[in-house]
Amino acid sequence: MRPLNKKELVLTILFPLIVITIFFAPKLFTLSQGENIVLKVEPVDPRDMFRGDYVALSYEISRLDLDQIPSDSNYSTGDTIYATLSKKEKYWSIDSVSHTKPLSKSGEVRMKGTVTSAYDNMVIVEWGIESYFVPEGKGKIIESQINSGNVSAIVAVDSKGSSVLKELRINDGPLGF
């Protein structure tokens, strides 16, 4: 086979970088342009094979009781779900959910998620912000703080409903590592 010339070499080396950029661009867009909201966090501290220790997070908005929240129809596993959230005192919480993206109003954000389980009128939703990666061995510290209810999450949400977990805060301050 003919070896690559320098121009082809540059294009070949750039290829993986371009593919990676294309895939992560929406997340970067959400992170830089999205509105920041604060969510109340509930506890857990496992390890990902390639990315190390992380804190598995659950939120108040992860479990929805559709008897309490206005919704459009029944939900089943795998469905896409949109939630409208607004700020209540400190934390943001859900006002309503729907299968389709609702119109946006000022003071509200829309978050897009996937239903991972649904029984009766209880729905479990994954929003894509359930993991927070931490330096090796630091997960337990956060976990104990979460158990005492002092941890909140800053989440960036863009106009399309995509969300990225920006940072975790303990007692409204940075984690410190």
Partner 1 sequence: MGKMDDTWLQKEVLEWKEEGIIDDAQVQKILARLKLAERSSAELKPRSGSSKVTTVISILGAVLVGMGAILFVASNWGRIPDALKMILLAGTTVSTYYAGWKLKYERKDRPALGDALLLLASIFVGVTIFLTAQILNVNADTHWLVFLWFLSILPLGYAFNSKSILSLNIFTFILWTFFFVGSGDLYLSIFEIFMSYLLVGVNLYGLGQLHTRYEKYARFRTIYQGFGLFFILLSYFFFSTETLYFNILTNMEPTTWQVQAFSILFAVTALVFIISSLRIYKQHEEVKYEFFILLMAFLGWAGTNALRLFSDNLTTTITDEFYSYREVDPHIATALFVAFNLILLILAIASILIGYHRSTVPFINIGMFFFVLGVLNLYFTTLYGLLPRSIAFIIGGLVLIALSWYLEKKRQSLIMEIKGGETTE
Closest to 139 in 3D by CA, of 46, 41, 42: 46
Task: Print the binding letters for residues 35-74 with partner 1: x by CB under 8 A, - otherwise.
Answer: -----------xxxxxxxxx-x------------------
End-to-end C-alpha distance for the chain, whole angstroms: 50
Does residue 9 interact with partner 1 by CB under 8 A?
Answer: yes
Does residue 33 interact with partner 1 by CB under 8 A?
Answer: no
127: left (phi over 0), alpha (psi -120 to 50) or beta: alpha
Closest to 130 in 3D by CA, of 68, 61, 82: 61
Of 65 and 167, which CB lies nearer to partner 1 in the complex structure?
Answer: 167
Q: Which residues bind partner 1 (CB under 8 A)?
A: 1, 3-4, 8-9, 12-13, 15-17, 19-20, 23-24, 27-28, 31, 46-54, 56, 78, 126, 128-136, 164-166, 177
